[in-house]
Amino acid sequence: MVKPTAATTKDDAQALFKSLRSAYSATPTNLKIIDLYVAFAVFTAVIQVGYLAIVGSFPFNSFLSGVLSCVGTAVLAVCLRIQVNKENKEFKDLPPERAFADFVLCNLVLHLIMTSLPAGWPR
């Protein structure tokens, strides 16, 4: 009773991964580049959390600004991907240049904030 369902689950999982991979490879290259950027940003954030777990949280300002800037730029890149994706009917008359300009502006603001946080404020 258990074995057949386990086998079918494993088959299902494999079929699932295969279909996911085939569907994902059909996405256009510019979106894949954005996805890569998002993955890189999240990976950097994970490394920083790992560092926190190992070494401790002393300059908490720096940790906060580092992690939040990684997460922030990942979120903004996802927003860019949403707006640039041609399959998204809501944004079909938004020129991709405008989307990219918004992305750059947002990142500028994010990094401006992020660079002033580690220096902190005179306590």
Partner 1 sequence: MAVPVDTVTKQPQPPPPSPSSLRFAFGNVLAFFILLLIGVLAFSIRLFSVIKYESVIHEFDPYFNYRVTQFLTKNGIYDFWNWFDDRTWYPLGRVIGGTVYPGLTLTAGTIWKVLQSLNIPLSVETVCVFTAPVFSAFAAWATYLLTKEVKGTGAGLTAAVLLAMVPSYISRSVAGSYDNEAVAIFALIFTFYLYIKTLNTGSLFYATLNSLSYFYMVCSWGGYTFIINLIPMHVLLCIVTGRYSSRLYIAYAPLVVLGTLLAALVPVVGFNAVMTSEHFASFLVFIVIHVVALAYYIKGILSPKMFKVAATLVVSVGLVVCLAVVGVLVAVVASSPTKGWSGRSLSLLDPTYASKYIPIIASVSEHQPPTWPSYFMDLNVLAFLVPAGIIACFSPLSDASSFVILYLVMSVYFSGVMVRLMLVLAPAACIMSGIALSEAFEVFTRSIKFYISSLSEFLETDAGDVMPGSNGSPQFDVLKTEKKEDSLKERPSRKNKKKEKDVVVVKEKSSVKSKTEKRPLVLPAEVSFFALFLTVLLGAFYVVHSVWAAAEAYSAPSIVLTSHSHDGLHVFDDFREAYAWLSHNTEVDDKVASWWDYGYQTTAMANRTVIVDNNTWNNTHIATVGTAMSSPEKAGWEIFNSLDVKYVLVVFGGLVGYPSDDINKFLWMVRIGGGVFPHIKEPDYLRDGQYRIDSQATPTMLNSLMYKLSYFRYGVYTT
Contact footprint for partner 1 (CB under 8 A): 9, 12-13, 15-16, 19-20, 23-24, 26-27, 60-61, 64-65, 68-69, 71-72, 75-76, 78-80, 82-83, 87-91, 93-94, 99, 102-103, 105-106, 109-110, 113-114, 116-117, 121-123
Please, what is the minimum distance in Å from the beta carbon of residue 70 to partner 1? 10
Radius of gyration of the chain (CA): 20
Which two three-digit tokens encode residue 107?
């990142």
Going by the DSSP 8-state scheme, the letter that residue 86 receives in this structure is: T
Residue with tokens 């660079």: 115
| CA–CA gap between residue 65 and residue 31 (Å, rounded) | 27
Please, what is the minimum distance in Å from the beta carbon of residue 12 to partner 1? 5
Taking the least distance from each CB to partner 1, the nearer of 1 and 122 is 122
